[in-house]
């Protein structure tokens, strides 16, 4: 059964409630500090929620587009972005649009990206969409693009959700047929867990297709 994301937002999803972490994920912040030369150009955040990571990834050299399927979620993200970077030089570098990540027209409409960040998106979709997730990621990323996945909640695969438990082995098995290899896989330390210990463990990874 599809999750009623719009209903969750429309009923009044506050900061820090449910899947809203009330901040950019500390694991993403730490990764960007370890890798200050992540690809510039265009970045995409599917299922961006309130847009914390959209702002986090933005820079003078990198524009970031957040996508969400829920209209009320898009409105909340635009409000947050206006609050966070409105009137600054970064305002022109960020945008949020309502869209279905799995739309067959998405790539032709949006083009390709140099970075895609998946956080609490793969774990939120129905398991029968996972192969389609990997195929769409492959199409959306440029040949030299990098995919960042925050693998959460990390553990043995579960049958109930969302969030559905996922793990590195699952993500690897989904991406390998499309030529992706991991260039870094890091277990997130306890003090960087986005939702604290109550959320369970996390792994953050960077995936890329080897240069031809």
**pLDDT tens digit string along 70-101?**
999 899 999 999 999 999 999 999 999 999 99
Would you say residue 198 has pLDDT above 70?
A: no
DSSP string, 161-183: -SSPPB-HHHHHHHHGGGT-EEE
Would you say residue 175 has pLDDT above 90?
A: yes
Q: Tell me, what's the pLDDT at 55?
A: 97
Instruction: Compute the mean pLDDT over every residue in the chain, rounded to the nearest whole number.
Output: 91
Query: What confidence category does residue 1 fall into, taking pLDDT thresholds of 50, 70 and 90?
Result: very low
Query: What confidence category does residue 65 fall into, taking pLDDT thresholds of 50, 70 and 90?
Result: very high
Q: Tell me, what's the pLDDT at 162?
A: 87
DSSP 196: -
Q: What percent of the chain has pLDDT over 70?
A: 93
Instruction: Kindly state the average pLDDT of the residues 126-145.
Output: 97
Q: Tell me, what's the pLDDT at 199?
A: 66
Would you say residue 104 has pLDDT above 80?
A: yes
């Amino acid at each position: 059964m599809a999750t009623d994301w719009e209903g969750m937002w429309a009923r009044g999803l506050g900061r820090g409630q449910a899947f809203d972490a009330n901040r950019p994920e500390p694991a993403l912040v730490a990764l960007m500090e370890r890798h200050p030369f992540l690809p510039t150009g265009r970045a995409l955040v599917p299922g961006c929620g309130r847009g914390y990571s959209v702002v986090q990834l933005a820079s003078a050299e990198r524009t970031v587009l957040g996508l969400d399927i829920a209209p009320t979620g898009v409105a909340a993200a635009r409000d947050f972005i206006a609050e966070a970077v409105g009137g600054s030089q970064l305002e022109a570098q960020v945008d949020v649009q309502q869209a279905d990540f799995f739309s067959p027209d998405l790539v032709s409409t949006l083009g390709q990206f140099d970075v895609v960040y998946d956080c609490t998106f793969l774990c939120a979709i129905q398991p029968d969409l996972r192969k389609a997730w990997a195929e769409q990621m492959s199409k959306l990323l440029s040949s030299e693009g990098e995919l960042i996945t925050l693998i959460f909640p990390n553990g043995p695969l579960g049958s109930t959700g969302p969030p559905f438990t996922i793990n590195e082995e699952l993500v690897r098995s989904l991406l390998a047929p499309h030529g992706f290899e991991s260039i870094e896989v890091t277990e997130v330390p306890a003090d960087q867990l986005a939702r604290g210990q109550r959320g369970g463990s996390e792994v953050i990874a960077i995936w890329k297709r080897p240069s031809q």
